[in-house]
Structure 1
Amino acid sequence: MIRQVLPIAALVLCPASALATDPTAPVASLMALAETNWSASASGYEDYFSDDRLAALYSTEFAELYRKAAATEDAKEMGSPFNWDVIVNAQDGCPLENLTIEPGSSANGVTQVVARFQAMACFGTQAEFQAYRETRFTVVVEDDQSVVDDIVTDLDGDVLSVKAILRELAQTAN
């Protein structure tokens, strides 16, 4: 009985810290933004990497790499280090459908969180358009907050790490 009461008491007494370390929280924020950005009624695109979001949703290292990559001449010219949506791994698409967010494996302070969704369903009923995509987020805890440390997708069977791309781009910054 005491073993059951103590964890519940800890959540009641420290709810903010218990929720702050929910590994799905930063992913849910980013996926909600992706849903808005890709919605049929979207009036404009909101940046996944605004200063406020870099400070609140991403690890210190990821944010630093992003800022360095954004300082490259190409990124300045394009307005971003990326010419595609790295959250849904697409340049074209539809409103996201059937989004799920699930925490996966956790080891050494790192949790994998998987977002699954349909991103092309409005293009037709063929299997290729109804297929699900996955974006895997590597989530760590910094200053008692869960934050995204990497975004990983598949591209033609290869693993695509946004953090690795940022690291490579940051090396070319002036």
Structure 2
Amino acid sequence: MLKKISLLLLPLMLAAAAPAEAADMTQPVKTLMKLAEENWRAENAGANDYFSEDLLGTIYSKSFADAYRAASKFPAFDLPEGETTGSPFDYDVIANGQDGCPFENVRVEDDGDGQVTALFNNRACMGDDPANKEDTVVIFHVEEEGGKPVIDDIYQVENGNSGKGLKEQMLEIAKQ
């Protein structure tokens, strides 16, 4: 009887001893990129807020969300009567601009060590200039917080170099 119980428990013990499956570090980036793709469709035109309270509480780190909330007290545009916060940015922080085309050829790559890269073309409709054929590259710093992957910073890549992180920009805006 003891041998039977031992044989029955063996698979359970092995499963418990197996390492936990690693979290998909690309998941919060894929969520954000899906919203960005939807925003740049002609029929949707910016309907999704990358920094809604729901997203700030789910796909971003606490420190990133806190930096956004502090910066949102200094909105880039005049607010409607009664509102006290708004976007501190006057451009789309994923597309890195105010003008663009529907996103094409969107790819999200896990580069390891907390770096996730999104590549896409959002200038193909702007003509035959070779620059309009190049991918836009956005680097996300993703970390685990509370047992799940979250975006802790976003970096635009221009001319092969990443600039200042979005979190640093938000902290500077909040110092106004």
Equivalent residue number for residue 26 of structure 2: 24
Larger relative contact order, structure 1 or 2 (CA cutoff 8 Å, min sep 6): 1
CA contact (8 A) 2:36 2:94 kept: yes
Q: For the structure 1 residues 71 and 18, does the alpha-carbon distance in structure 2 shift closer, same or farther, using more than 3 Å as the test? A: farther
SS in 1 for 2:163: strand
CA contact (8 A) 2:155 2:162 kept: no
- Correspondence for 2:145 among 124, 142, 145: 142
Letter in 2 for 1:167: L
- Tell me how far 1:32 sits from its aligned partner: 0.2
Equivalent residue number for residue 167 of structure 2: 163
After superposition, residues 4-153 of structure 1 pair within 5 angstroms as 9=15, 18=21, 21-42=23-44, 44-72=46-74, 74-75=75-76, 77=78, 79-106=86-113, 111-153=114-156
CA contact (8 A) 2:67 2:167 kept: yes
Q: CA RMSD in A?
A: 2.6
CA contact (8 A) 1:69 1:75 kept: no
- My pick for the range that moved more, 49-58 or 82-91, is 82-91
**TM norm structure 2:** 0.80
Q: Name the structure with the higher strand share.
A: 1
Q: Name the structure with the higher helix share.
A: 1
Letter in 2 for 1:55: G
CA contact (8 A) 1:70 1:76 kept: no
Q: For the structure 1 residues 63 and 116, does the alpha-carbon distance in structure 2 shift closer, same or farther, using more than 3 Å as the test? A: same
- Tell me how far 1:41 sits from its aligned partner: 2.1
**Structure showing greater Rg:** 2
Letter in 2 for 1:169: I
- Tell me how far 1:75 sits from its aligned partner: 4.2
SS in 2 for 1:152: strand
- Between the aligned partners of 1:158 and 1:25, the Cα distance in structure 2 is 22
* Moved beyond 2 Å, runs of 4+: 74-79, 154-158
- Between the aligned partners of 1:37 and 1:123, the Cα distance in structure 2 is 18
> How many residues were matched structurally?
157
Consecutive unaligned residues of structure 1, counting only runs of 5 or more, are: none
- Between the aligned partners of 2:127 and 2:175, the Cα distance in structure 1 is 41
Residues 83-106 of structure 1 show CA distances to partners (whole Å, capped at 9, x for unaligned) of 001112111000000010000131
